[in-house]
Amino acid sequence: MAAPFGQPETQKRAAIYARVSTTEQAEEGYSIDEQIRVLNEYCEQHDYIVYEQYVDRGISGKNITGRPAVQRLLQDAELKKFDVVFVWKMNRLARKSLDLMTIVDRLNSKNIAFRSYTESYETETSSGKLQFQMMAAIAEYERNNIAENVKMGMIARAKEGRWNGGQVLGYDIVETPSMNKKRKDTHLVINEKEANLIRLIFDLYTTGNGYRSIANYTNKKGYLTKKGKTFSLAAIKTIVTNPVYAGLIRYNVRRDWNEKRRNNINPEPIIQQGQHEPIISMEIWEIAKNVFESRAGKPNRVHDGEFPLTGIMRCPVCNAGMVIGRTTNRTKDGTKKVLEYYVCGAWKNKGTMVCRSNGVRTDYADPFVLDKLQRLMRSDKLIKDLVNKVNSRNESTFAPLQREYDIYEKQVIDLEQKLSKTFDAYTDELISKAMYLDKARQLEEQIRQLKEHMEPLRKQVEGNTVENVSYEVIKGVLSNFLVAFKKSLTREQRKRLFHLLIHKISIGEDRKIESIQLMLNDEILKALNIEADNLSNDELSASFSILIAI
């Protein structure tokens, strides 16, 4: 029986928040539908009106910024759309005690209560707050302690030459009997068909072929990664630098992975003779290492900080972000001339089997976009026409946004169905737990990325968060943008300004720019120091966000 929350004196509006990652569901048996059912049932029994259910399915609780439902809940809380937030357990809202207390403080500042169904405390009194903070700190300590024990166990396994990771091309993961009932032991067994591909990749690499050449070759031949995808340059690099193929176990390559995504390489990872059979000889591995080290001092990566449209300009064929590519031509007098293009990122990363270059000259695109913004800023008539266009919800502006949102939504639904089928396969014992967790993490990350793209579009297709956008706002943004752009000292600063203001640049099959979508939201207003006097009360809401096509 759940601990009582206390009867509401008058009927109040309740927000229900529920979350579970597929990993937690596999480990602990959490059910997100059961959380929702129990909380709805409680609200009905105790005369609460459920304003809305905020649900993050298949999403980890490590970081609240990556959870769309939490962000929506906080935005609605700012507008006081409900009186109390119910969760099944407090770690559903946040794992870290600091995050949890920050959220609860924000709720309390709007006189919104926070209640946990399975934990008996309330946050409206001083003693209740103290109890809540102590419980949150203890819960985080226990989670951290468990994480440390798990890591120590995995390090011990690695030092014994046993495999800790998930799926790896060239091997199958086979479960073996273990005394540990909670964790099944696994070892690597060569998958001969995949191993032949690994040997081919190492042969190509050690005879002078680069990542792009190998990716193009393998993709043209129809080879796929372990996850059924085409090969990228990064995938090829991962293979030729992985000592597992030489019979070695490498572990703890990255430190503090949950907190840091870059610049956290461990200079002294664990390298141990493995208990598995190697696919390549040690001689081939040493040659591959020498090739990698000889090329390491000669990076061919194009630094794109000086090219502000990378990422926001989209390929007209596959919609991938455009990145920088360079070609070298010779003039009639024999001198070399370097030409720079925005090219399809999928093509550059995975080769011609995925897409084509669709190159757009940087010396055309960069001035075109800046000139478009300058001409718009200088013309009061253009700005007024744009304001009228936005406020009248012109079909030519919002129909493409709706189509784009629908595409993302279908992809999310498909991925969630795959996630559900994968979990069913695990519970039916058709796949191993290690295989399930590896696939689930991959699908969860894809869903998270898609939902990040969908959020600004959702606000627009469901209706702007402001009833009308004013002339002063658009004029202020454009004017301040150009001033800030001219004052920027570095190319990286200019690129950041472009990425703050511009949501997407579409190009046609003729490789000419067709449309530019501007994003007006809190972030750009703060970055450009737009005065509050220029905004109405509605426009100052925490959820201010609007897309404008110019």
SS3 343: strand
**Lowest-confidence pick of 58-62, 96-100, 217-221:** 58-62
Tell whether 519 is covered by a domain: no
- Residues of the chain above pLDDT 70, percent: 68
Q: Between 117 and 122, whose confidence is greater?
A: 117
For the record, the structure tokens of 193 come out as: 């068909």
Predicted local distance difference test score (pLDDT) of residue 257: 45
Count the helices and strands in the chain (H runs, E runs). 17, 15
CB atoms near residue 150 (< 10 Å)? 11
Predicted local distance difference test score (pLDDT) of residue 425: 75
For residue 74, which of 20, 133, 15 has the smallest C-alpha distance? 15
For residue 485, which of 472, 475, 495 has the smallest C-alpha distance? 495
Same domain, yes or no, for 188 and 264? yes
Predicted local distance difference test score (pLDDT) of residue 439: 82
Tell whether 376 is covered by a domain: no
**Lowest-confidence pick of 169-173, 302-306, 389-393, 513-517:** 302-306
**Cα–Cα distance for residue pair 550/547, rounded to 1 Å:** 10
Mean pLDDT of 489-509: 82
Same domain, yes or no, for 27 and 90? yes
Q: Between 479 and 126, whose confidence is greater?
A: 479
Same domain, yes or no, for 181 and 278? yes
**Cα–Cα distance for residue pair 55/65, rounded to 1 Å:** 14
Active-site hit among 21, 97, 116, 432: 21
Phi-psi region of 383 (alpha: psi -120 to 50; beta: other; left: phi over 0): alpha
**pLDDT tens digits along 526-547:** 777 654 344 444 443 434 456 6
Cα dihedral 273/279/281/286 (nearest 10) = -70
Predicted local distance difference test score (pLDDT) of residue 258: 46
Predicted local distance difference test score (pLDDT) of residue 278: 92
**pLDDT band per the 50, 70, 90 thresholds, residue 3:** very low
Question: What's the one-letter identity of residue 90?
Answer: M
**pLDDT tens digits along 413-435:** 888 888 878 877 777 677 777 77
Residue ending a domain, among 275, 296, 317, is: 296
- Residues of the chain above pLDDT 90, percent: 10
Same domain, yes or no, for 54 and 101? yes
Tell whether 116 is covered by a domain: yes
The domain total for the chain is 2
**pLDDT tens digits along 289-335:** 888 887 765 444 445 556 889 888 999 888 888 888 888 877 777 78
Q: Between 213 and 269, whose confidence is greater?
A: 213
Same domain, yes or no, for 113 and 35? yes
Q: Between 203 and 68, whose confidence is greater?
A: 203
**pLDDT band per the 50, 70, 90 thresholds, residue 484:** confident
Q: What is the mean pLDDT of the chain?
A: 75
For the record, the structure tokens of 320 come out as: 């991938």
Could you tell me what percentage of the chain is helix, strand and coil, using 3-state DSSP and rounding each to the nearest 5? 50, 15, 35
Tell whether 431 is covered by a domain: no
Same domain, yes or no, for 200 and 289? yes
Predicted local distance difference test score (pLDDT) of residue 27: 45
Q: Between 53 and 262, whose confidence is greater?
A: 53
Predicted local distance difference test score (pLDDT) of residue 542: 38
Predicted local distance difference test score (pLDDT) of residue 465: 43
Predicted local distance difference test score (pLDDT) of residue 267: 60
**What sign for the dihedral angle of Cα 165, 167, 170, 173?**
positive
Tell whether 460 is covered by a domain: no
Predicted local distance difference test score (pLDDT) of residue 177: 66
Predicted local distance difference test score (pLDDT) of residue 64: 64
CB atoms near residue 338 (< 10 Å)? 8
Predicted local distance difference test score (pLDDT) of residue 281: 92
Predicted local distance difference test score (pLDDT) of residue 178: 62
CA angle 364, 498, 407 (to 5 degrees): 90
pTM of the full predicted structure? 0.46
Residue ending a domain, among 129, 146, 163, is: 146
Same domain, yes or no, for 200 and 114? no
Residue 183: domain span: 171-296
Same domain, yes or no, for 125 and 189? no
Alpha-carbon distance values, 373 to 47, 211, 376, 475 (Å): 54, 39, 5, 11
Alpha-carbon distance values, 3 to 35, 101, 272 (Å): 15, 21, 51
**Cα–Cα distance for residue pair 549/521, rounded to 1 Å:** 14
pLDDT surpassing 90 at residue 381: no
Same domain, yes or no, for 236 and 292? yes
Same domain, yes or no, for 267 and 181? yes
**pLDDT band per the 50, 70, 90 thresholds, residue 236:** very high
Residue ending a domain, among 241, 269, 296, is: 296
Q: For residue 147, what is the enclosing H or E element?
A: helix 126-159
pLDDT surpassing 70 at residue 344: yes
SS3 304: coil
Mean pLDDT of 438-464: 75
**Cα–Cα distance for residue pair 455/75, rounded to 1 Å:** 13
Same domain, yes or no, for 179 and 137? no
Tell whether 510 is covered by a domain: no
Q: Between 464 and 514, whose confidence is greater?
A: 514
Predicted local distance difference test score (pLDDT) of residue 139: 57
CB atoms near residue 445 (< 10 Å)? 15
For residue 240, which of 270, 200, 191, 181 has the smallest C-alpha distance? 200
Across the beta sheet with 113-116, the strand order is 49-57, 13-20, 84-87, 113-116
Predicted local distance difference test score (pLDDT) of residue 127: 57
The separation between CA 273 and the C-alpha centre of its own chain, rounded to angstroms, equals 35
Phi-psi region of 170 (alpha: psi -120 to 50; beta: other; left: phi over 0): left
Predicted local distance difference test score (pLDDT) of residue 191: 92
Tell whether 303 is covered by a domain: no
Q: In sequence order, what are the residues at sequence separation of 6 or more whose Cβ sits closer than 8 angstroms to the Cβ of residue 161?
A: 249, 272, 273, 274, 275
Q: In sequence order, what are the residues at sequence separation of 6 or more whose Cβ sits closer than 8 angstroms to the Cβ of residue 233?
A: 211, 212, 215, 349, 350
Tell whether 5 is covered by a domain: no
Predicted local distance difference test score (pLDDT) of residue 194: 92
Query: Is 21 assigned a catalytic role?
Result: yes
SS3 115: strand
pLDDT surpassing 90 at residue 202: yes
pLDDT surpassing 50 at residue 283: yes
Mean pLDDT of 146-168: 66
For residue 280, which of 202, 194, 188, 173 has the smallest C-alpha distance? 202
Tokens 């529920």 -> residue: 18
Same domain, yes or no, for 224 and 288? yes
**pLDDT band per the 50, 70, 90 thresholds, residue 200:** very high
For the record, the structure tokens of 182 come out as: 């909670």
Mean pLDDT of 11-35: 70
pLDDT surpassing 80 at residue 388: no
CA angle 295, 299, 301 (to 5 degrees): 140
Predicted local distance difference test score (pLDDT) of residue 30: 55
Predicted local distance difference test score (pLDDT) of residue 361: 92
Predicted local distance difference test score (pLDDT) of residue 82: 93
pLDDT surpassing 50 at residue 1: no
For residue 498, which of 317, 310, 328, 363 has the smallest C-alpha distance? 310
CATH code at 87? Answer: 3.40.50.1390
